[in-house]
Amino acid sequence: MSGKIYEKEHQIKYYECDTTQKMTLSMLLNIMLHVSGEQSHLLGVGDEVLAEKGLAWIILQYEVKVERMPAFYETITITTQATSYNKLFCYRIFKVYDTKGNLCVTVNSTFALMNVKERKMARVPDEIVAPYEAEFTKKLVRSPKPIKVDEENMISKEYRVRYLDIDSNRHVNNSKYIEWAIDTLNLEFLTTHEIKRMTIKFEKEVHYGQLIHSEMSATKNTDNDMTTAHRIVAEGVTNCEASIEWKTIE
Amino acid sequence: MSGKIYEKEHQIKYYECDTTQKMTLSMLLNIMLHVSGEQSHLLGVGDEVLAEKGLAWIILQYEVKVERMPAFYETITITTQATSYNKLFCYRIFKVYDTKGNLCVTVNSTFALMNVKERKMARVPDEIVAPYEAEFTKKLVRSPKPIKVDEENMISKEYRVRYLDIDSNRHVNNSKYIEWAIDTLNLEFLTTHEIKRMTIKFEKEVHYGQLIHSEMSATKNTDNDMTTAHRIVAEGVTNCEASIEWKTIE
């Protein structure tokens, strides 16, 4: 595994936490992306350089493994490394450590470049990836697929895309899909369970004003373990699929 | 004006900004509260000390004046100072400066203590406020009142309170009311106007699962200026009122 490693400390704020005072996964992913954005900027290939070429990074997939979700007021260290790339996909790993050096969260991610005008994926230009010193490989990394929603036993909630759901790419920010997915579960469940693993695949863009359905079905594995399958659907099109493994908070 | 001043630098992240790449007011208020929370913690009267007494800070009012809303990747300095207090209310001022020392935002705020169990306001104990060295005054600070919504010309949008809308006090976080208020305005307006002033008064708690109505009426002052009046209503009760002065983005 090659690629320059960049790291940054972050102090967890109360508004990055849920009612149990643990950091929310959507906020952690936001912060991780800020750290990789900062690495790009420092390497001279920041968003402003991409914008000049009519390009922007988009995220296609996250695989998240949580050992322990950090809590309010902790200081965490986030490391990020571009590991490999091919002509369409760039793979990047993020790790989150606590002050004792314990690994808290690992996230494998797949990025691609979008042609902002055409809203289509673009080939990865050499000069954009060279500074990260990641390995070029013709092999595609096989990512696990999210479990499919069981349509006969699903719960669905409706959400209208709000102004603050969209980002500077003028589409719904990835972290919002996670918020919609998780919100299908009730307060009692969410305050007694925590995320162990999540696989999420972003398929299509969602835009301001669209009405989306967040669909979810659940499977109980053991007394303490549950898996939920999620799908975000807008106008009959699946925009995002995810599955989440949960465990009971001890 | 007495009271110890505490200050902290903050680098603005992309997820703290809207699609115009300027910081959102809701996120700025979140960060300011983190800074005052940190001052309290360092003075030995942090949230954990209050929690032991069954108390928590709540915010009753914000008056916001924006000279220039800072943008993505800027580093800002936030200062906070408890200015005065009486037996029920504590007054605190926040200021936001850019790296050149220009004042960007001023926020006057009114805090109170809530008895967490009874969900009622509590008297301010001397030992809790003494460390801030703010002035005791019997006088109430007269805060401007938000303009009333014109019921005959109002727009209303419905929102269900989500899991991530509630905070560790188990009620809707103040910043969410601002998000609901602003979301009544459309994309075209929000991408061409910015907030100049806001007065917001938080009256009642809103809880998980409640259905709220975000109501808004608008008055055009000049070609470049507009005032909007807002009200957050749940089950027939007004929980929050606000008015916002907007100007056209140049």
pLDDT tens, residue by residue, B21-79: 999 999 999 999 999 999 999 999 999 999 999 999 999 999 999 999 999 999 999 99
pLDDT category of residue A96 using cuts at 50, 70 and 90: very high
Same domain for B70 and B115, yes or no, is yes
Closest CA to A212 of A170, A193, A240: A240
Q: What is the mean pLDDT of chain B?
A: 95
**Averaged over B178-189, what is the pLDDT?**
96
Summarize pLDDT for A61-87 with one digit per residue, the tens.
999 999 999 999 999 999 999 999 999
Of A3-7, A200-204, B246-250, minimum mean pLDDT range:
B246-250
Cβ-proximal residues to A241 (8 Å cutoff; 6+ apart), any chain: A145, A146, A148, A149, A200, A201, A203, A229, A230, A231, A232
Those residues of chain A whose CB sits closer than 8 Å to some CB in chain B are: 13-15, 17-19, 21, 24, 26-27, 30-31, 33-34, 37, 41, 72-73, 162-164, 166-168, 170, 173, 175, 179, 182-183, 185, 187, 190, 208-209
| Interacting residues of B222 by C-beta distance below 8 A, sequence separation 6+ | none
Same domain, B39 and B83: yes
Is B146 among the domain residues? no
Q: Is residue B160 part of a domain?
A: yes
Q: Are residues A123 and A180 located together in one domain of the fold?
A: no
Q: What is the pLDDT of residue B138?
A: 84
Residues B126 and B191 reside in one and the same domain = no
Contact A28, B15 (CB under 8 A): no
Question: Is the domain of B122 the same as that of B207?
Answer: no
How large a percentage of chain B has pLDDT more than 70? 100
B165 found inside a domain: yes
* Domain-located, residue B207: yes
Question: What pLDDT shows up at residue B141?
Answer: 81
CA distance B129 to B90: 9
Q: Say if A38 falls within a structural domain.
A: yes
B142 vs B67: which has the higher pLDDT: B67
A10, A12, A15, A23: which to substitute to probe chain B, counting the most B Cβ within 10 Å?
A15
pLDDT above 80 (res A206): yes
Share of chain A above pLDDT 90, in %: 92
Residue finishing a domain among B79, B104, B136: B136
pLDDT-derived band at B187, boundaries 50, 70, 90 = very high
In this predicted structure, what is the pLDDT of residue A54? 96
Band (A202; pLDDT cuts 50, 70, 90): very high
Q: Does A166 lie in the same domain as A115?
A: no
Predicted local confidence at residue A220, as pLDDT: 86
Contacts of A73 in chain B (CB under 8 A): 41
A93 with A11, same domain: the answer is yes
Which residue in the block uniquely carries the two structure tokens 């809790």?
Answer: B128
Residue A143 is predicted with a pLDDT of 84
Is the distance from CB of B190 to CB of A163 less than 8 angstroms? yes
Domain tally, chain B? 2
Residue-level pLDDT at B140: 80
List, in order, residues 6 or more apart from B243 with CB less than 8 Å away.
B146, B147, B198, B199, B227, B228, B229, B230
Q: Are A243 and A227 in contact (CB under 8 A)?
A: yes
pLDDT higher than threshold 90 for residue B2: no
Distance (Å) from the alpha carbon of A188 to chain B's nearest alpha carbon: 10
- Bridge partners, B58 (sequence order): B112
- Reduced to 3 states (helix: H, G, I; strand: E, B; else coil), residue B82 is strand
Chain centroid to Cα B155, Å, comes to 23
Q: Please check whether residues B112 and B18 belong to one and the same domain.
A: yes
pLDDT tens across A27-57, in order? 999 999 999 999 999 999 999 999 999 999 9
Partners of residue B41 in chain A, C-beta under 8 Å: 73
Q: Select from B94, B113, B136 the last residue of a domain.
A: B136
Residues A203, A155, single domain; the answer is yes
User: pLDDT tens digit string along A151-167?
Assistant: 999 999 999 999 999 99
pLDDT given at position A1: 62
Most B CBs within 10 Å: which of A163, A179, A212, as the mutation test of the B interface?
A: A163
CATH number of B218's domain: 3.10.129.10
In tens, the pLDDT along B207-233 reads: 999 999 999 999 988 888 999 999 999
Instruction: Write out chain A residues lying below 8 Å of B167, CB-based.
Output: 14-15, 19
B90 and B173 together in one domain: no
Phi, psi of B245 (to 5 degrees): -100, 130
**Strand, coil or helix: what is A216?**
strand
B167/A26 Cβ within 8 A:
no
Could you tell me what percent of chain B has a pLDDT over 90?
A: 92
Task: Note the pLDDT of residue B136.
Answer: 92
Same domain, A164 and A113: no
Q: Which domain holds residue B96?
A: 5-136
Does the pLDDT value for residue A146 go beyond 90?
Answer: yes
Residue A195: inside a domain:
yes
Question: What is the reported pLDDT for B1?
Answer: 62
Examine residue B141 and state whether it is found in any structural domain, yes or no: no
- A176 DSSP assignment: H
Last residue of a domain, one of A77, A108, A136: A136
Instruction: Indicate if B132 and B9 belong to the same structural domain.
Output: yes
